[in-house]
Structure 1
Amino acid sequence: MTWQMFMAYLSSMLTKESLLGVINALYSNSDVAAAAFNAKSVGVSESLAILLPQVISKARALGFIMAIVFNVPCTMTVAAIYRENHSAKWIVLSIGYYVAFSLAISCVFYHIGLLIW
């Protein structure tokens, strides 16, 4: 992953909706705050839609999608795990499992994508 994609990966741990805003903010040349907070309502800029296929290969995009799909669900899910178990140990184990599994599956799908494309 590029550093921009990894930052989007990390922000998606908090909320999946922030992913589009972070990618839009990091890859666009516009105002970062406006791009991040308005991405959900306004959408992705046209220049970003043209730029992303040039910067991110198909195999890398496939691996990134798999990393996002299998990433930590959201902060509310983590809070529910804590509310049910009352254990910080389970929180750390579940977050560690999600991160390790999502990055491992991302690597596998990236290499599959390299074989396909």
Structure 2
Amino acid sequence: MDNLTERLYKLGISVEKFEEKTSSHQKLLLDHVEKSDEARMHLKDDIQRQIKLITDKMGKINEANSNMPKLSTPFSHIRSPVKPKQELTNPFITDLSHQDNNQVLMKEAPQSK
């Protein structure tokens, strides 16, 4: 008797029963591998379909972008009023170097005569 047969005999398992069990386990494993391969192929197909959909959408977006009118500069479509320099300076502010917590030193407003 070989070593495996002796161990099976000690466990009370016949060689035939052991071969039958291992054969059924092999079949289950093969079935599992086949199902895994099949699932992998379906997943691969799904991924390829999604990639194609995304690629098609990106193509449509790129086409739409190429048909858009070109702007001369970024944000040139936004118009903001430009104030003259006189309006930007406040004649009442004398010194900003001593500014603390958004407080500024102010001159007295000129008195109208």
What interval of TM-score do these two structures reach, taking the shorter chain for normalisation?
under 0.3
Larger radius of gyration: 2
Larger strand share, 1 or 2: 2
TM-score in terms of structure 1 length: 0.26
Higher relative contact order (CA 8 A, sep 6+): 1
TM-score (norm 2): 0.27
